[in-house]
Amino acid sequence: MITLTHVGKQYGRIHTALADVNFHIDPGEFVFLTGPSGAGKSTLLKLLFRQQMPTSGEIRLAGHRLASMSAKEIPFLRRKLGVVFQDFKLIHTMTVFENVAFVLKVMGVSFSEQKQRAFRSLKMVGLQHKLSSYPLQLSGGEQQRVAIARALVNDPLVLLADEPTGNLDPDLAQEIMSLFERINGQGTTVMVATHDRNLIQRMRKRVLGLDHGRMGFDLPAPASMVVV
Chain residues binding Mg ion by CB under 5 A are: 41-42, 86
Work out what residue 121 binds among ligand ATP, Mg ion, none; the CB cut-off runs from 5 to 8 Å by kind.
none
For residue 82, state whether it binds ligand ATP (rule: CB under 6 A).
no
Closest CA to 83 of 102, 69, 63: 102
Per the DSSP assignment, residues forming a β-bridge with 72 are none
Which DSSP category does 130 fall into? G
Closest CA to 190 of 30, 23, 83: 30
Work out what residue 156 binds among Mg ion, ligand ATP, none; the CB cut-off runs from 5 to 8 Å by kind.
none
For residue 41, state whether it binds ligand ATP (rule: CB under 6 A).
yes
| Measured distance CA(16)–CA(94) in Å, rounded | 37
6 with 58: CB under 8 angstroms?
Answer: yes
Work out what residue 207 binds among Mg ion, ligand ATP, none; the CB cut-off runs from 5 to 8 Å by kind.
none
Instruction: Reduce the DSSP state of residue 109 to 3 states and report it.
Output: coil
Q: Which of residues 123-162 bind ligand ATP (CB under 6 A)?
A: none
For residue 120, state whether it binds ligand ATP (rule: CB under 6 A).
no
For residue 42, state whether it binds ligand ATP (rule: CB under 6 A).
yes
Which DSSP category does 29 fall into? -
Shortest approach of Mg ion to residue 37 CB, angstroms? Answer: 7
Contact residues toward ligand ATP (CB under 6 A) are 11, 15, 17, 35, 37-43, 86, 195
